[in-house]
Amino acid sequence: MALLRVRLKVVVTVTVVNVFLFLLIAKHSGWDKGFQDKVRLATKPFWSKMTPSPGYWNLQQQILDFRNNPILANHSAVADLPDWLNVSQVSFDSCQTDTRVITQIKDYNSLPLRFKDFMLYMNCRYYPILVDQPDICRDPPFLLLAVKSQAPHFDRRQAIRQSWGRAGLVANRTVVTIFLLGRAMAGDHHPDLSAMLSYESEWHKDIIQWDYRDSFFNLTVKEVLFLDWIQTRCPGASFIFKGDDDVFVNTYAILKFLAGLSQTKSDELFVGDVITNAGPHRQKKIKYFIPESIFIGVYPPYAGGGGYLFSASVAARLHDISPRVALYPIDDVYTGMCLSKAGLAPENHKGFKTFNIEERYRSNPCTYKGLILVHPRTPQEMIQIWSWLNQSDLNCQ
């Protein structure tokens, strides 16, 4: 009994002391007054009602984001959906001509033809493959060199085969080179080169061709098809370089750079000539012109399409995320958009010279030792520069 009383006394004392301390602290910090005065009201709501963007690409992306939002995954449960967000009306994987764009893009009729061609097939991500090399990666290469080319560029491809794209063992690493082609359409007044192309393909077995019109705005289609191709035909390649057929690439420098990377660094690798804080050009005459009716905003950081280097795991992540990013008519910007969506960012490497180097350094063999890529170079220049690199007695500082 006595023990219980002592315990009770202790509890009561502790409680009284606690209450006293609380009041003391509350007094000093002003907790007991001014609660009402200090409530701050938000001047605007912390969420905002989604309104449709006037840029057609942005609008498509808003709808895609809505469709892919896991919280809103059960669309049928979302009542009162505004018409423009009604995803059941939009198909993002259709190769039917999408004639809705004619009325939905306000200045459609006055847009340059290439925009009309692009917008009508903006939802088409698949074209049949015409020429494939299903076994080219049977022994998975360390480095896959994928060169964006076009049917008529026979000399560029041959120069690349004889120089920086020489497949096989380079610096004790396995290298495989492929050329990515669409079709040179008769409608674009191309001569019929199909017989020569199939001869070339049989001879070299390095051509990949899909059945779509090879045009500047369709380079994004080439990118998406290539990402698919890597996953089906060459998932074992450790690293992938993708670039144009008018660049010189120092393959040795790439291999040296890759050899020096840590494991974590190489897993997330995406390097090139990175362009930041860029946005669409609004002057009609520029090749990269994009009207406001198509895109509003700034571009995420992206690596210039002349050439960039990335790892197998980044390739897989780009492949997985790409269906969630609406096709954009400029391929390197599109890849930047996909990287950003995947939570990745391209890293700048000063060895990628997509805007060329100063004139006075161009004919100095030593210049090319430390570079990874230079744009542009002719087929003859590629062969010349490669022979410089291959000189064992080249004495550079």
Ligand X SMILES: *[C@@H]1O[C@H](CO)[C@@H](O)[C@H](O)[C@H]1NC(C)=O
**Does 77 participate in binding ligand X (rule CB under 6 A)?**
yes
Cα–Cα distance for residue pair 205/386, rounded to 1 Å = 23
**Does 368 participate in binding ligand X (rule CB under 6 A)?**
no
**Does 118 participate in binding ligand X (rule CB under 6 A)?**
yes
Q: How many residues of this chain interact with ligand X, rule: CB under 6 A?
A: 19
**Does 81 participate in binding ligand X (rule CB under 6 A)?**
yes
Provide the strand spans (E) within the chain. Answer: 129-131, 143-148, 168-170, 173-183, 207-213, 239-244, 248-249, 270-275, 302-311, 347-348, 352-353, 373-374
**Does 114 participate in binding ligand X (rule CB under 6 A)?**
yes
**Does 88 participate in binding ligand X (rule CB under 6 A)?**
yes
Torsional sign, CA 163, 206, 198, 331: negative
Among 54, 91, 390, 396, binds ligand X (CB under 6 A): 390
Query: b/e per residue, 304-338, with b = 16+ CB within 10 A?
Result: bbbbbbbbbebbebbbebbebbbbbbbbbbbbbbb
Q: Compute the 3-state secondary structure of the chain and give helix, strand, coil in percent, each to the nearest 5.
A: 45, 15, 40
Site for ligand X in 158-187 (CB under 6 A): 172
Cα–Cα distance for residue pair 220/336, rounded to 1 Å = 12
**Does 264 participate in binding ligand X (rule CB under 6 A)?**
no
Interaction pattern, residues 49-68, with ligand X; x per rule: CB under 6 A: --------------------
**Does 299 participate in binding ligand X (rule CB under 6 A)?**
no
**Does 239 participate in binding ligand X (rule CB under 6 A)?**
no
Provide the strand spans (E) within 94-172. Answer: 129-131, 143-148, 168-170
Among 48, 109, 392, 395, binds ligand X (CB under 6 A): 392
**Does 86 participate in binding ligand X (rule CB under 6 A)?**
yes
Cα–Cα distance for residue pair 361/391, rounded to 1 Å = 18
**Does 96 participate in binding ligand X (rule CB under 6 A)?**
no
Asked if residue 376 has a cis previous peptide bond (ω within 30° of 0), the answer is: yes
Nearer to ligand X, 173 or 233 (CB): 173
Integer Rg of the chain from CA: 29
Among 89, 194, 276, 380, binds ligand X (CB under 6 A): 89
Interaction pattern, residues 330-349, with ligand X; x per rule: CB under 6 A: --------------------
Site for ligand X in 207-226 (CB under 6 A): 212-213, 215, 217-218
Residues that bind ligand X (CB under 6 A): 74, 76-77, 81, 86, 88-89, 114, 117-118, 121, 172, 212-213, 215, 217-218, 390, 392
